[in-house]
Amino acid sequence: MSELDAIDHAILRILQQNGRISNADLAAKVGLSPSACSRRVDILEKSGTISGYHARLAHKALDYQIMVIVHISLSGQFAKTLAEFEAAVKLCPNVLVCYLMSGEYDYILRVAAKDLQDYERIHRDWLSALPHVVKINSSFSLREVIDRPNVGI
């Protein structure tokens, strides 16, 4: 789907606010029949514009008290090196986000840990064991100011 119209934008805004809204309620809010609305949502899903639905969990409620930003340098940026690192980092359950970067570091990760001892375990058992890692730099979040789940539409 190359072009989104005003109705598509409205559907996306509403679904970002409430992914559990019924199709009937969504249709009423955007001025479509339920069947037309369902077709639109289906097209948005199949095109990849809507990539999924999920529950947003409170990390602190699950006893993950520390967020760590981890900068990682690899031994090189060969395709095989990157692929091996990326396959391995996907296996670490505490890594919430991983970005391939330009600049000083090859990757930036956001890692959730229960406490400092838990992060030490994650660092020792997971991060240090990732293939081709030559440098790890960890920064600890003092306070979350914003973690926006939605993009502006």
Q: Could you give the 3-state DSSP secondary structure of residue 147?
A: coil
Domain ranges of the chain: 6-47, 59-140
Say if domain 6-47 classifies as CATH 3.20.20.140: no
pLDDT tens, residue by residue, 116-150: 999 999 999 999 999 999 999 999 999 999 988 88
pLDDT band at 2 (very low <50, low <70, confident <90, very high): low
Q: What are phi and psi of 108, to 5 degrees?
A: -125, 130
- Measured at the alpha carbon of residue 14, what is the angle toward residues 10 and 19, in degrees to the nearest 5? 140
| Topology classification of domain 59-140 | Alpha-Beta Plaits (3.30.70)
pLDDT tens, residue by residue, 45-61: 999 999 999 888 899 99
The total number of residues shown for the chain amounts to: 153
pLDDT band at 152 (very low <50, low <70, confident <90, very high): confident
